[in-house]
Amino acid sequence: MPIHARDILTAQEQFDSLEMLNHVTKAGNRGFTNYPPHIQPVALSMYNTMAKKIRSAKNLKIFTHQPTGMPTGFPDLYLTKLGQLVIPVIHDYTFNPFVNGRFRNMTVNPLIKLMAETLTAHQLSSGQFLNREYYEKAVDTCFSDFKVRCGTRNSTTIFNSWRAMYVKSQGNINRFIDTIIDESPRFEVHSIVVQLKTASGKMPQFGDEQFKGQTENEMLADLVEPIIKAVWLNKDSNDVIGILSKNEIDIIGDISKRLIFFVKKEFTDMDNWTDTELFQTVHPFLENTITHCISYGDVPSMNAGVAPMFQGQHLNYYDLNQSGIAPRLNRLKAHLYGTDYWMRVDGDRATVRIEHQYG
């Protein structure tokens, strides 16, 4: 698929997927980042929009004497539409944890990564703004270089591979949810987070690589597989009709696997999570130790009791007969696979996987 194809995320899907990404990575919490108080964090969607505009634009001017409503602090000098994207990103990129190397075992969208790498290579900074003529020339040189970097065979291959993997995962999960809906027009979604405390753990397996008996993925698998097995073996009693898993990582460096259970609902009665058969199945596994934590999730689209109710139900309840169900299902999908548009864990593979499904 060509790299100039239309956006594969709507504006709402961009918002919802970045909401989920910022939540699970903790990057949306300034307490975990090194932003100075005067810098407003910039969303990855702005990087993406800016990179696409630069890649296709012939005019790379960021300043104009024509009034645009966006003054620069200099007399009779304003920001162009491109400049309104460029200046916030230039202020942001050295502090943004998604592009400054803060995350380990994380791969950011390659177009955004290349944009940040080019800005870094040309050492653009807000200080150069004091000399407008020099700054605009430096920006023009940087963006011309970016256009060349985008057009290489290697970059084109990477862009296309990233997009193809996303589209494949999107199709797989959409078909999975279609199967869930065909089996049960009413269902709930519950998630369990299995997290390794790799950043703060003091056990030997978190120390020097040569002393590790297992990789982090193997350690996660040992914790996750018994839970999946127990839930699926009891699917007739707990009404689970599908299980997904999603790899996650946070800014601290702890890696997690989120287990997402789709539960058939015959009636509209609202059940307390702790009264459900699914809770009885997973409860023995919930624990918090020095090496790991297994706990109920806190994402409203796939967990009960973490946000105000909607139409008398928790936000993790879905009923095809409800009004407003389409945008809520789209939000759930954005939380499941939409984050992969921006960032993936440990390579460019899809982070969400189908473990079991009805049929």
Q: Under DSSP, is residue 194 helix (H, G, I), strand (E, B) or coil?
A: strand
Q: What is the mean pLDDT of each run of 10 residues along the chain (359 residues)?
A: 58 96 90 84 95 91 85 79 91 92 90 96 70 83 95 96 96 97 96 88 54 78 97 96 97 94 92 92 96 95 89 90 92 97 92 93
Angle at 101 between CA 248 and CA 15, to 5 degrees: 50
Q: What is the pLDDT of residue 4?
A: 40
Q: What is the pLDDT of residue 216?
A: 85
Structural domain boundaries of the chain? 33-151, 185-357
- CA-CA distance, 294 to 185, in Å (whole number)? 30
CB 325 within 8 A of CB 319: yes
Residue 96: which of 251, 249, 255, 252 has the closest Cα?
251
Q: CB under 8 Å to 56, separation ≥6 — which residues?
A: 4
Q: What is the pLDDT of residue 3?
A: 39
- CA-CA distance, 330 to 314, in Å (whole number)? 17
Q: What is the pLDDT of residue 204?
A: 53
Residue 187: which of 296, 67, 325 has the closest Cα?
325
> Whole-prediction pTM value?
0.91
- CA-CA distance, 268 to 277, in Å (whole number)? 17
